């Protein structure tokens, strides 16, 4: 579930920060643009909360020593790296906008 949502968020972040995505000339359907505009931040917050709960529950259950917990423990850093990638994609464009004197979430 986490991997699917994070891949979706990365895709949405790339769309969100691409200026051609927001233009009618880009060829993207309007419902997809509306979905990205309306669903990105709620999905990001849901994934952040779910990943935090997953991390806390996994780390607190390590005392039980169940063998499958080790596999989850190996996947946990990868999931956090993907979440950080989403943040970096969005932040990179916003830093570029501010440095060029535009608004933070500016898109042509």
pLDDT in tens, 2-50: 999 999 999 999 988 887 888 777 678 889 989 999 999 999 999 999 9
φ, ψ for residue 61 (rounded to 5)? -95, 5
Q: Which pLDDT belongs to residue 107?
A: 65
What pLDDT does 26 receive? 66
Please state, in angstroms and rounded to a whole number, the distance separating the CA atoms of residues 89 and 58: 28
Neighbours of 1 (CB within 10 A): 8
**pLDDT score for 9:** 96
CA distances from 66 to 1, 44, 56, 76, 84 (A): 21, 30, 16, 16, 28
Are 80 and 51 spatial neighbours (Cβ–Cβ below 8 Å)? Answer: yes
| pLDDT value of position 105 | 67
Q: Which residue matches tokens 């529950």? A: 57
Q: From CA 18, how far away is CA 4, in angstroms rounded?
A: 21
Q: How many CB atoms sit inside 10 A of residue 58's CB?
A: 14
- Domain extents for the chain? 2-99
Mean pLDDT of 57-73: 74
């Amino acid at each position: 579930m986490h991997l699917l949502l994070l891949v979706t968020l990365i895709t949405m972040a790339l769309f969100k920060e691409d200026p051609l995505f927001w233009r009618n000339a880009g060829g993207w359907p309007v419902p997809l643009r509306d979905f990205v505009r309306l669903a990105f931040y709620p999905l990001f917050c849901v994934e952040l909360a779910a990943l935090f709960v997953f991390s806390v529950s996994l780390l607190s259950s390590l005392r039980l020593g169940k063998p499958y917990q080790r596999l989850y423990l190996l996947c946990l850093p990868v999931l956090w790296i993907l979440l950080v990638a989403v943040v970096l994609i969005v932040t990179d464009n916003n830093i570029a906008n501010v440095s060029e004197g535009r608004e933070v979430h500016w898109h042509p």
